[in-house]
Structure formats: C-alpha cells, structure tokens
Structure 1
Amino acid sequence: MITKTRPNFRGQTEFKLDGIVPWGRRLDEYSAFFALKDILPRARILDIGGGPSSFACEAAQLGFDVHAVDPIYACEGRVIRERFDATAPAMRTGLWSAAYRFKWKYYGSEEQIYRRRLEALNLFLGDFEGAGRERYLSGALPDLPFGDRAFDLALISHLLFLYGDELDGDFHILALREAMRVADEVRVFPLVNLDGRPSSHLPDVMRALADDGFEVGTELVDFEFQLGATRMLRVRRV
C-alpha cells in the first residue's frame, strides 16, 4: 500500500504524470463504459490508443474481429512492461490522493485497480508476444494506418478529452475525423479530463463533427468511476 499524507484540500492536480501513460483496461470495463451490448461478433472493431489493454485479446477469444493501434506497439513487450512499471507508482499515488473524486463501487480500492491493470497488462503481453501479434499495429492519431471504412466501430478509451490539457481542441477534431475515416462509428470515453472537469473541447468538437455531416451525441452509460463521468461520445455516419 502506498503511504503518503492525504491532502485535505480540493482543486489541485493530484496526478503528476509525464504524458500519456500505459494504463490498460479489461473487456468488462470496455463493455461497461462503451455500452457494447449492441455489438455483434461479426463487427469489425478497432481499439485506438489501446496501449496495454486486454480488450482486443479478450474480445478476440469471444469471436470478435478486433484490432488495436497504438505507437507503443512499436516496442518490444519487455519495454512496454518497463513503461507500465515506471508509471504505475504515479498513477497509484494520484488515485489514492484523489480518492474523493471517484466512486469506488466498481473497483473497490486503488489496490484492486492496480491489480486489474496488471491483469490487463499480462493478458495483453501474452497475446502481443504470441499468437495474437497481428492484431496490434503501431500508429497514432491523427494518421491511422488503415483504409477508409475498414472498421464498423472504433473505440477511444481514456485518451481524447481525458488528456485535454495536453491535446488541444484542433487535435481532437483532426483525431475524430481520422477515426471516422476508418470506421462507420466512433465511441469515446470519458468526456472529462484527469482532474474530473468536463472537457472544454467537447462543444467545439461536437459542432465540427456535426458540420461534417455526422450524427453526433453523448449517451449515458452504466458506469461511473470519475465523479460525473457517466457519458460517452458517439459519432455515426448518417
């Protein structure tokens, strides 16, 4: 257990992170915050910025056609594990010190979150270094290595909006246009930043995508960890 003095004031940035961290999630989490019950196994799915998530591995085991893209996939598995190990302490400290900004029903504790992230990493690396290696391509928004409409659904988990202080509004618009180039539908979660504030980029992003002719809206999901993070962005071709 991390033992640090818990701050007794609000409004500070508890997460002291160096860029976007390799912090992966599991299939049940994706299913909850992306509301995936309506997705059929024949759907072609892309996990954008998947990092060391085990979603692609676990979904493929259920018969789904899933690929994942992330610049970290250019690295060897041992390097990905080293990056996870290097950033985990800062993430754990941030979760512990900012505990008042989360609902803990789904996970229970910071310790259990870490264990789930480690489970995701181990499942991912087993697939990435084994039979599932072809599922993972190195690439990054806003320039994905896929043809037009190669996928039915693209998922962007804990990347856009969450890191809105580092990725500006123009990047968000370019990134989502690119995601819609390669997929018929895009779902993004969450729509708040690391400090739990609603993203200031969201209104302009939604307006730009609507002007492009896409159907754009936010939808309530049956998941809440960051307080108030209960909606996903859904963009579809009309």
Structure 2
Amino acid sequence: MRFRIFEELEMVREIQSILSPEFDFDGVVPWGRRLSEYRAFFALDGMADVGPVLDAGGGPSSFAAEAASAGVRVVAADPIYRIPGATIAARFEETAVAMHEGMRRAAYRFDWRYYGSEDAVHRLRREALALFLADFEAGKAVGRYVPAALPKLPFADGAFRLAFSSHLLFLYGDRLDFDFHVAAMRELLRVAGEVRIFPLFNLDGRPSSHLPGVVEALRGDGVRCALREVPFEFQKGARRMLVAWRG
C-alpha cells in the first residue's frame, strides 16, 4: 500500500512538472532588445523613412536610444519608466536569473541559429540595458521615454507613422486577456498609421489563442490585417509578425 501511494505521488509530481510553466515570471518582465533585433523582428530594411515611431512596451530595450542616434524620431512608452534607472537595472538582474533557468528548461523549444547560444542572448540583453540606461535620463527629459501603459496611451490620434510592440502582446497571453489585446490594438491603431506586433506565440512556445479573435475584431472595425514572414526565428515556428493598418 505504501509503495502504491509513493508511486501515485511520483506520478503527480511528474504531471505537475509537465504542466508547470518553464518561464515562471511574476507579470511582464524587463528584458530589452537591440535595434538589430527589432530590424529582424519587424522586417525593417532600413530606419531612415520609418519615423515617427512608437515602441509600445519598450522596457529597457535600446531601440529608442539607437534609433534616435540614427536620426529617427522615436518614442518608447512603458510604465517602468516611472521608476529610476537603478531600480530598472535591479529588476533586470532578477529577470536574468529567472530567464537563465527558464531558457535552460526550455532550450529544446528554441532555434539557436540567430543567437548562437544562451550566453549570446544574455550578452545582447546586457548591451541593450547599458545603452538604454545611458540614454534614459536625457531621453526622458526630451520625451523619448514616456511612462504609459496599454491600453491607454497619452498621445494624439495619428501621432506616429508606425508603432511596434515587441514581446508583450500575445507573448503574455496567459496574463493579458483577450479583451486587453483588442483594446491595446485599437489604441495602437488610434495613435499610429500602422502597427506591427512580434512574436505571436505565448511564453509556452505555442501560437497565441488570442490571435484569431483579435484579427477578427480588428477586421470588424475596418482594419486591414496581415501575417507576414520575418527574417527571425527564436521560438521554433514563430516566424511571423502581425501587421495592422487602416485601409
């Protein structure tokens, strides 16, 4: 009898390990990307003619800093910009620990050709953080970093030619519900002529269940939507971005 109970407990533990998320985060985490990655995520051949640009949910990405240095008019919006840079850096370090463990457990779900290794991923994230922090205070003073959160942004209608959202919408589909996604997309389309979202997979490595309904809702608003291939793949199979614009 005792052996059977032990066997059943082991079975429960095994099932729990299968069901447990490999990336166990407390909400959306600060994990920034470089401009070169944005170019790949969003199939950008160049940056000269894309502005003004909104990076919605930019976090500690260096996209705004690097794009501004290249002469692009860019604004990044994120609620994390309400806190000091030193606090953002401390949260990044906490995230790095969780990311290391998650990527170790989920290594089989990634295509490593773009980055080469987990160490290379972490190196790029630290480069992005350093560039962001070097620009943060001066950039905030001139309005490049705006403390704001979807689905309500403090910008005028049509303020931007293009809006990006990288690794926020759809990725956190288990934390941000369907209604949030629809409201966020509508808000992005209010402030920008075109919206691009990447990736379209959840943190668990599967296509977001929100995507079909979001596209249907937007098309009901008269918004044109397309899924377009991009020259980037890290989560296996995640090779498309959502592009939405008003026809």
Deviation at 1:130, TM superposition (A): 3.1
Matches within 5 A, 1:200-219: 200-219=209-228
CA contact (8 A) 1:68 1:136 kept: yes
More displaced stretch, 74-83 vs 39-48 = 39-48
Shift of 1:115: 1.1
Distance in 2, matches of 1:42 and 1:87, equals: 31
Other-structure match for 1:57: 65
How many percent identity over aligned positions?
58
For the 8 Å contact 1:127–1:133, the answer to whether it is kept is: no
Name the CA distance, whole Å, in 2 between partners of 1:133 and 1:233.
32
* Alignment partners' CA distance in 1, 2:33 and 2:240: 18
Count of residues paired in the alignment: 231
1:171 partnered with 2:180: yes
- Offset at residue 10 of structure 1 (A): 6.3
Answer yes or no: is 1:145 the counterpart of 2:154.
yes
**What does residue range 60-79 of structure 1 map to in structure 2 within 5 Å?**
60-79=68-87
**Superposition map of 1:98-117 within 5 A:** 98-117=106-125
What TM-score do you get using the length of structure 2 for normalisation?
0.90
Q: How far does residue 93 in structure 1 lie from its aligned partner after superposition?
A: 0.9
AA paired with 1:200?
S
- Indicate which of 217, 223, 242 corresponds to 1:233: 242
CA deviation string 1:11-55 (max 9, x = no partner): 652111111000000000000010112654362100000000000
**Is this contact kept in 1: 2:232–2:239, CA < 8 A?**
yes
- Write 1 or 2 for the structure with the bigger share of helix: 2
Moved more, 161-170 or 128-137: 128-137
Dislocated runs of 4+, deviation >6 Å:
none
| Contact 2:57–2:166, Cα closer than 8 Å, also in 1 | yes
The question of 1:130 aligning with 2:135 is answered no
Query: How many angstroms apart in 1 are the aligned matches of 2:139 and 2:148?
Result: 20
SS of aligned partner of 1:106 = coil
Q: What pairs up with 1:83-102 in 2 under 5 angstroms?
A: 83-102=91-110
Cα separation, partners in 2 of 1:151 and 1:17, compared to 1, 3 Å: same
Q: 1:199 aligns with which of 205, 208, 228?
A: 208
Moved more, 151-160 or 133-142: 133-142
2:195 — aligned with what?
186
1:98-156 deviation line (CA, Å, top 9, x unaligned): 10000111111111111110110000000002356420000000000101000000000
Please report the RMSD computed on the Cα atoms of aligned residues, expressed in angstroms. 1.6
Unaligned stretches of 5+ in structure 2?
1-13
Indicate if the aligned counterparts of 2:34 and 2:61 stay in contact, CA closer than 8 A. Answer: yes
How far is 1:231 from its partner? 0.2
Structure 1: gaps spanning 5 or more residues: 1-6
- Return the index of the structure with the highest Cα Rg: 2
User: What is the TM-score when the length of structure 1 is the normalising length?
Assistant: 0.93
The structure-2 alpha-carbon separation of the partners of 1:157 and 1:42, relative to structure 1 and needing over 3 Å to count, comes to: closer
